[in-house]
């Protein structure tokens, strides 16, 4: 039996809200706008979408909202792409619950952080992923040591890769040396680039996918960059990538959700506001994101 594949350009989808005084923080999830956004991404060549990630503000949603967001993505994408649902949780029982719900609703795969809000040890990390993987869907574990304080090192990933149904790692450490180290120590594990500002470097070192933020803004161009890199067309890939990197760097900053949503606004899509704890960008950050986006747009012939 072939190993399930969660590679390609899968977009960690931003979540639109509409003003509603009766909703949490005065912002209600706009499911229709979200469905339209998921469809736009797939229609522009992206392999799939990833609802309920950090970019999707999963931790600011109610349980009902969180499930409906994933269902909206699954129903919208249908057979035209894959949906990799974020099932992050403080403990394995919560993450497993979200995995079971995703399986019931028809997800193609799962994206899972180590335990959130707790610096888990090796045994706890393994138990966490074992619980999620036991549900039976393909699992992409997510290494984000910046936010979780848990580093899924190549040596630890070699152990995690032995768990049935764990098929990939979203690598967000920012250290491109990890790509080859993971391939050496866990050769059966697909390495997926998780940080937009090292995506070209990661793909050239053998990453097979991009679980991406800024393709919310530039989906067709991002797919083209991915295809050029995977085809070894380095000169063309670099020419496309270099003017975009300043914008892409925001994907690795604390304000990445607000920055990507502003980028969407600047290209005529709807990004809009964020729920707490994320507030609006400072004026300095707004000006810098705008300047970085204008450079990117000019290079693409959009500005």
Dump pLDDT digits (tens) for 50-68.
Answer: 999 999 999 999 999 999 9
150-174 pLDDT per residue, tens? 999 999 999 999 999 999 999 999 9
In a domain, 287, yes or no: no
Annotated active-site residue 261? The verdict is no
CATH number for the domain harbouring residue 93:
3.20.20.70
In a domain, 2, yes or no: no
Model pLDDT, residue 1 = 36
Question: How far apart are alpha carbons 132 and 280 in whole angstroms?
Answer: 34
Question: How far apart are alpha carbons 205 and 193 in whole angstroms?
Answer: 10
Distance from the Cα of residue 11 to its chain's centroid: 6
Annotated active-site residue 96? The verdict is no
Those residues of the chain that have pLDDT short of 70 are: 1-3, 303
Model pLDDT, residue 162 = 98
As given in the structure block, the two tokens for residue 293 are 């986006």
Model pLDDT, residue 2 = 45
Model pLDDT, residue 148 = 87
Model pLDDT, residue 78 = 97
CA-to-CA separations, 248 to 7, 116, 126, 195, 292, in angstroms, rounded: 20, 25, 32, 8, 9
In a domain, 92, yes or no: yes
End-to-end CA distance of the chain: give it in Å, rounded.
Answer: 48
Q: Which of 17, 142, 241, 261 is catalytic?
A: 142
User: How high does pLDDT run on average in the chain?
Assistant: 96
Q: Which of 31, 34, 96, 170 is catalytic?
A: 170
In a domain, 60, yes or no: yes
- Domain count along the chain: 1
β-bridge pairing 27-29 and 17-19: antiparallel
Burial of 214-249, coded b for 16+ CB within 10 Å and e otherwise, reads: bbbbbbebbbbbbbbbbeeeeeebeebbeebbbbbb
* Global pTM value: 0.97
In a domain, 248, yes or no: no
In a domain, 251, yes or no: no
Which domain range does residue 206 map to? Answer: 8-231
Question: How far apart are alpha carbons 13 and 135 in whole angstroms?
Answer: 24
In a domain, 19, yes or no: yes
Alpha helices in the chain (DSSP H): 31-43, 63-77, 92-105, 122-133, 145-148, 154-160, 177-185, 199-204, 219-230, 234-241, 245-248, 256-266, 283-299
In a domain, 166, yes or no: yes
């Amino acid at each position: 039996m072939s190993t399930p594949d969660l590679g390609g350009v899968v977009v960690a989808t931003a979540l639109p809200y509409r003003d509603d005084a009766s909703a949490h923080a005065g912002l209600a999830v706009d499911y229709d706008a979200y469905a339209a956004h998921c469809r736009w991404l797939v229609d522009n060549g992206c392999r799939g979408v990833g609802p309920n990630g950090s970019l999707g503000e999963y931790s600011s949603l109610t349980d009902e909202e969180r499930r409906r967001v994933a269902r909206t993505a699954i129903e919208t994408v249908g057979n035209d792409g894959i949906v990799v649902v974020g099932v992050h949780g403080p403990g394995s029982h919560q993450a497993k619950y979200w995995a079971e719900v995703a399986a019931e609703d028809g997800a193609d795969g799962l994206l899972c952080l180590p335990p959130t809000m707790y610096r888990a040890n090796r045994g706890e990390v393994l138990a966490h992923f074992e619980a999620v993987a036991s549900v039976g869907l393909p699992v992409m574990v997510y290494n984000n040591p910046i936010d979780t304080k848990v580093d899924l090192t190549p040596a630890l990933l070699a152990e995690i890769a032995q768990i049935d149904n764990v098929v990939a790692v979203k690598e967000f450490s920012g250290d491109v040396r990890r790509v080859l180290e993971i391939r050496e120590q866990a050769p059966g594990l697909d390495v997926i680039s998780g940080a937009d500002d090292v995506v070209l470097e990661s793909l050239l070192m053998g990453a097979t996918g991009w679980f991406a933020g800024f393709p919310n803004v530039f989906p067709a161009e991002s797919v083209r960059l991915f295809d050029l890199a995977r085809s070894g067309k380095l000169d063309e890939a670099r020419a496309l990538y270099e003017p975009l990197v300043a914008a892409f760097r925001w994907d690795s900053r604390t304000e990445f959700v607000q920055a990507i949503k502003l980028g969407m606004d600047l290209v005529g899509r709807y990004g809009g506001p964020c729920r707490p704890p994320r507030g609006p960008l400072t004026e300095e950050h707004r000006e810098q994101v705008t300047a970085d986006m204008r450079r990117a747009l000019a290079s693409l012939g959009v500005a």
